[in-house]
Amino acid sequence: MILKSERTPAFREDLCTKCGICFNKCPVLELPLEEAKEEINRLIEGDKSRFVLWRCNTCFSCNLYCPENANPYQLILERWNDLYYKRGVPPLYTFVCPTREGNIWQLLNVFLSTQEKRWILTWMNNQPKSKDEVLLIGNYTHLFPFIIGGSKILEYFKPVDLIDQWEGGAYLYQGGYLDVVEKIARRTKKDFDKWETSKIVAALDAVQYIFQDVHSRELNIKHSQSFSSLQQWLLEKIESKELQLEKQLHMTVTVHDNCYSKVLGGKYWESARTILKKCGCKIIEMEHHKKDSLCCGFGAGASWIRNISIPFDILHEGIKKFQEAERTGAKALISYCTGCIYLLWATKELLNSKIELFHLIEIVRMAMGESLDYPSAHKKRAWDIIAIITYEWLVSLFKPSFFITKITFDQKRSTFYTKNHYLLRIIRMLFNSSLMKKLYRKLFMILIKMLNTR
C-alpha cells in the first residue's frame, strides 16, 4: 500500500473565485467560459473531470492567467496525485524512471560513444568539495552529453550527474506525482548536505525552480545551498566578458519557451533572449510564446488516458510546436531546456522538419568559437531515442501499471547494467536505412491519427 504524505497544497482555494479564466485562456484547452467555470468547480470538489485531467499539457500557463493568483495549475497536480493512488503510473513510464530496469538512461548505454561514456563516467563519479561550484548536469543533458561535453564552460564547475536525483523531481512534479517528489526532495537534501558546497548551478531552469521554490514552499524541505540556472550564469559571464564571444552568428531564430519558464512570472524568458542577441541572433517570435507558449509534447504524457497512445499524444503536441516555428521563417528553433531538446529532436526527425534545432548552450559555444558535431551527433541521437521509445512502447504493452516505490539506485546491481537488448539493437539497425526511416515516419503519422486521444 502506498501511503500519501502530508504536504501543504499550493492551490489557494480561498483566493479562487471560480471565474474559469484559467481554462478559458489556456492555449490547449480553450474551454468556453461557462464550461471552464464548471470544470474548475469539479476539480475543487474532487468530482470527475470532463476535460482538464485528460487534455492538460501541464504547461503552467493557467497560473499566469489567474487574476487572483490562486495557482490553478497546482490544483490539477493535486487531482493527478489523487489519480496516482487509483491507477499507478502507466507501464511506459519505466522509460523515465531511473531506478527501474529498462529506463532510457540504461538503454542508451547501448549507443553511447566512447567519448560520451568518459564524460558521463567522470560526471557521475565527481565528489564535490566545499569550495566547488557544482553544475548539476541532469537527467536530460545526460542524453545529449555532447551539448556541453568538452566545452570551456565546464572548466568553471565541478560537473555532477546524479540520475537518481530525478532532476529534483521536476518531471514527476509535472505529472502530479507530488508525494513521490517529496521523497526525492528529502533524498536530494541528504546528497547536498554531504557535499558541503554553498553554490549549485542547474543545467535546467526547472531544476533550479524545483530545488529553490517547490521543495521549500510546497514540501517544507529547505536546502542550505544557493541555486541558480546555467542560463543565468551564462548571461552573467558574457556580460562581465569573462566568457568571450568571438563571433556574431547572424542567425534568425525563434525561441521555444519551456513550461517551467512560466514560473515566477516568466523569470527565465528574457535572459535566454538577451543571450541570443549577444550571440548575434535575430529573434522572430512564434504565435504562441512566453506565457502562451505551447509544450514540447512531454506534458501530454502527464494527462494519459491509455498507455498505448502516450507516444502519439506527445508527438502530436510536438508537431504543433514545429509547425508554429516553421511559419516564422526563422532558420533555427532554440530551446533552453534539455528536457525539451530530446523530444524536439525526435519530433523533428519523425516530422522531417527542415528548421534547424539548437540548445542555447550550443549557440553560446558557437559564438565562443567552439566547434560542434552538428547536426550529425543530434540526428544519430534522435534515432537512438526513437528506437528506445519504440522498443519501450512495444514492451510496455505487455506490462501492468506500477507505483514508484524505489527512488534510489540499488548499489548491488546498478540500474545502468547493460544487457544485450537484441530487439532494441535490431530496431536501431533498421533505422540506419533511409528507406526504413521514410517508412517509419509514414507509419508513425498514421498511428498518430489512429491512436491520438487529444
> Cβ(208)–Cβ(228) under 8 Å?
yes
Average pLDDT, the chain: 93
* DSSP per-residue codes, 56-117: ----SHHHHH-TT---HHHHHHHHHHHHHHHH-B-GGGGGG-TTSTT-HHHHHTTT--HHHH
The pairs formed by 442-449 with CB atoms below 8 angstroms and a separation of 24 or more are 444/312, 444/315, 444/350, 445/350, 447/312, 448/312, 448/315, 448/316, 448/319
Inter-helix orientation angle 376-396/422-430, to 10°: 130
In-domain check, residue 44? yes
Residues 153 and 266 in one domain: yes
33-44: pLDDT as tens digits: 999 999 999 999
Q: Among 44, 63, 87, identify where a domain stops.
A: 87
* Alpha-carbon gap, residue 265 to 134, rounded angstroms: 26
Residue 245 lies in a domain: yes
What is the reported pLDDT for 261?
A: 94
In-domain check, residue 408: no
Q: Are 251 and 280 in contact (CB under 8 A)?
A: yes
Residue 414 located in a structural domain: no
Taking residues 268-296, what's their average pLDDT? 96
Please tell me the total count of domains within the chain. 2
282 phi/psi in degrees, rounded to 5: -100, 130
257 — pLDDT class (breaks 50, 70, 90): very high
Please write the tens of the pLDDT for every residue from 194-240.
988 889 999 999 999 999 999 999 999 999 999 999 999 999 999 99
DSSP, residue by residue, 375-400: THHHHHHHHHHHHHHHHHHHHHTTS-
**Through-space distance between the first and last CA atoms of the chain, rounded to whole angstroms:** 32
Return the SS3 of 255.
Answer: strand
Single out the residue in 56, 87, 118 at which a domain terminates. 87
* Whether 59 contacts 53, CB under 8 Å: no
Residue 6 has what pLDDT? 65
Strand pairing category for 332-335 and 251-256: parallel
- Does one domain contain both 280 and 397? yes
Task: Judge whether 12 lies within some domain.
Answer: no
Residue whose cell numbers read 540548445:
359
Same-domain pairing of 254 and 395: yes
Query: Which residue segment(s) compose the domain that 257 sits in?
Result: 93-402+420-451
Last residue of a domain, one of 87, 104, 139: 87
Instruction: Write down the pLDDT at residue 8.
Output: 75
Contacts of 239 (CB under 8 A, 6+ apart): 278
252, containing H or E segment:
strand 251-256
Q: Higher model confidence: residue 72 or residue 452?
A: 72
Specify the pLDDT at position 3: 46
Nearest Cα residue to 300 out of 321, 286, 281: 321
What per-residue confidence (pLDDT) applies to 1?
Answer: 36
| Whether residue 175 is found in the same domain as residue 42 | no
Which of 146, 160, 210 shows the shortest CA–CA distance to 180?
Answer: 210
Asked if residue 47 and residue 141 are part of one domain, the reply reads: no
Position 413 pLDDT exceeds 80:
no
Contact (CB, 8 A) for 427 and 120: no
